[in-house]
Amino acid sequence: MSVGLENVIQLPSIDGVQMATCAAGIRYADRDDLVLLTVGEGSHTALVQTQNRFCAAPVQVAKSHHQSTQPRAFLINAGNANAGTGQTGLDNAHQCCELVAIELGLSAEQVLPFSTGVIGQHLPMERFIESVPTLKSRLHADGWVAAAKAIMTTDTVAKGVFLQVSIDNELVTLTGIAKGSGMIHPDMATLLTFIATDAPIAPHLLQQALEHAVMESFNCITVDGDTSTNDACSLTATGTVKISLLDRDDSPAFELFQKALNELTQTLAKSVVRDAEGATKFVEVNVSGTRYEDCKVVASTIALSPLVKTALFAGDPNWGRILAAIGRAPVSGNAIDMAKVSIIINQVSIVRGGEIAPDYQESHGQSAFDQPELTIDVVINDGNQLARVWTSDLSHEYVSINADYRS
């Protein structure tokens, strides 16, 4: 089940990027679960990874390899996270890189491994040994949609998006795919995301652009408050479009690119929430006040509250749960002026001046809570800073999915 989201069916290729998928049988039967992505010589890649202290073996290896050289290939598997697997897990992640490197004539450091799935199980390396040559033989430019499907775990739809923007009278393309449905929370959201563009961008600006985009997208979503051991988001620039190198962050060309990247990552991030495990509601929480940091904390507290999320699932206009979440948000004592607090849901004014709005009617609240998409607008004081968080409801199905995930 997803909220207003369907399988991606078409994504444009990026010159310099090739992909291949196969059914390796890592955990799933009769579906592709292994992806090889290659990028042309001269490409640059930016990388943002999980902040979970127990980060998985592929996260550790990818970080080390990315720091030493520019990657030329990514190997991505679904169904097995290779996390909590100790030295054997690290050895297996290194071996995955070596298998790809031998097939493509690269060094192992030019290969980045990515895994997603069950924690605490060793990779079935014989499946990788058998499958990597197959992947090499299938490499082609139009593999984005197939890759989006192959990296799914509990996702119900394949997620992908593209944008095109005119820079220096040339058409620049950005294409991205993501997987994520549960264990969704900053930093940096619990997902795998792969984005590529044909724009030429200086490496330091590419990293800056990705970090900025992630802060306004994948670090603004939450489903269940859990951050995975395996999160990663990459952005590769192949530089094949014939425009001047984007090497200044104050240039109009770079600003156009950053705006497009922000839009793409926000669309992908919202698609993760729309496909959240068991979700029946898509919810945007907007909080305004004097300090952005306080607004973000209040928005996250509302979005994470199990009582708020279950009320949303039930369609119960129990707005007191939202008010209580605002009041317990871990911010300084003067960050919230209770006499100025207001709550508006889908344009229905519920709380005004810290108490129930005089003209509020339960039937109006019921109508708002019955909708599959809700916008919760909150004011905490007279400031004009705005923080936004996207979240979902919490349903019986979420419990069922996660209770049965390893079975």
Catalytic residues, by residue number, are: 190
DSSP string, 128-192: HHHHHHHHHHH-BS--HHHHHHHT-SS-SS-EEEEEEEEETTEEEEEEEEEE-SSS--TTT-S-E
Query: Cα(18)–Cα(126) distance, rounded to whole angstroms?
Result: 24
Query: Cα(286)–Cα(375) distance, rounded to whole angstroms?
Result: 7
Query: Cα(73)–Cα(57) distance, rounded to whole angstroms?
Result: 17
Strand ranges across the sheet with 355-356: 221-222, 385-392, 282-289, 373-379, 342-345, 348-352, 355-356
Dihedral over Cα of 138, 143, 145, 148: its sign: positive
Query: Nearest 5°: phi and psi at 332?
Result: -65, 160
Structure tokens at 183: 């264990």
Query: Cα(148)–Cα(11) distance, rounded to whole angstroms?
Result: 10
Q: What radius of gyration, in Å, describes the C-alpha atoms of the chain?
A: 22
Maximum distance among all Cα pairs of the chain, rounded to whole angstroms: 72
Residue 368 half-sphere exposure toward CB, CA atoms < 13 A: 23
- CB 4, CB 282: distance < 8 Å: yes
Bridge partners of 392, per DSSP, are 282
